[in-house]
Amino acid sequence: MKTAIITGASTGLGLECARALLRADASWHVVLAVRDPARGAAAVELLGEHERCTVIEVDLASLRSVHAFVGHVRGAELPPLHAIVCNAGVQVISGTQRTVDGFEMMFGVNHLGHFVLVQGLLDQLTPPGRIVVVSSGTHDPSKHTGMPGPRYTSAADLAYPPADGDGSSAEAGRRRYTTSKLCNVLFGYELDRRLDHGARGITVNVFDPGLMPGSGLARDYPPLQRLAWRYALPALRFLPQVRSARTSGAHLAALVAHPRFDGVTGQYFDGRKSIRSSADSYDRDMALDLWRASEQLAVHAA
């Protein structure tokens, strides 16, 4: 038996990844890393694999909670850890919200919480191990997704956004979201470099699930936009970038477990296809700034 940790596994992409992983290989045990244990328990009921699932609470908006999660995983009687899926994410467009530790919410949850979680469990990963970081095509302005392009100045600015006069606008919120998704790619690539590109037996890849109508990312949208996200966009599934959570969950599970991806590392996947990510995502200076600042922010919040 072997363990995979999936953050945000109670609904949507995380739940469907867990479902696909459990169905594909009876040797997997899944830790559903979720903010609400009751919803995690309900997800286990849906999966119907009580003996192969464990629910452990983690709130990525609280680094104390992340450290507690790491301690629980280390102390639990689980099969060896072979995979971590950094999937959970939030999108906030109704003003600047902050984590328990005072960081801007999307930077704190989408990037920093996962950074601390992975760092805390890296020595627990048993080779061959895989880490998959879920990003988004919105990190790449050349894709013309309709979202504003990322604006990476420094990680310190992302953690503590300066008062620039439009911080409460919906567009500013969307830009902070796309920038957090750029951080996911920068983190994944830098982690791969620090793990010697798979030489230590741990691979790191980044995943773009495509546009998934009905996902919880639209919960902070105005009512009409939420309705369109839930009911109108599913009709566009004939478009290549529009996918159901079930389809994207199967693609994500394949990156976690399929032999086809043995030894594959440092790549960006759109579904199951490896493609180039944005130009900024390959900027080593940007990645180093993010890494060093994340280490400092994590220590400061401890």
Q: Which residue has the tokens 């104390």?
A: 64
Tokens of 48: 């119907």
Instruction: Name, in order, each residue with C-beta under 8 angstroms of 110's C-beta and a sequence gap of 6 or more.
Output: 88, 89, 90, 177, 180, 181, 183, 184
CA distance 229 to 251: 22
Instruction: Name, in order, each residue with C-beta under 8 angstroms of 159's C-beta and a sequence gap of 6 or more.
Output: 103, 104, 107, 108, 112, 293, 297
Give the sign of the dihedral formed by CA 4, CA 35, CA 58, CA 159.
Answer: positive
Nearest to 135 by CA among 42, 47, 205: 205
- Give catalytic status of residue 177 as yes or no: yes
152, 160, 177, 282: the catalytic one is 177
Give the sign of the dihedral formed by CA 101, CA 106, CA 110, CA 111.
Answer: negative
Q: Give catalytic residues, as residue numbers.
A: 177
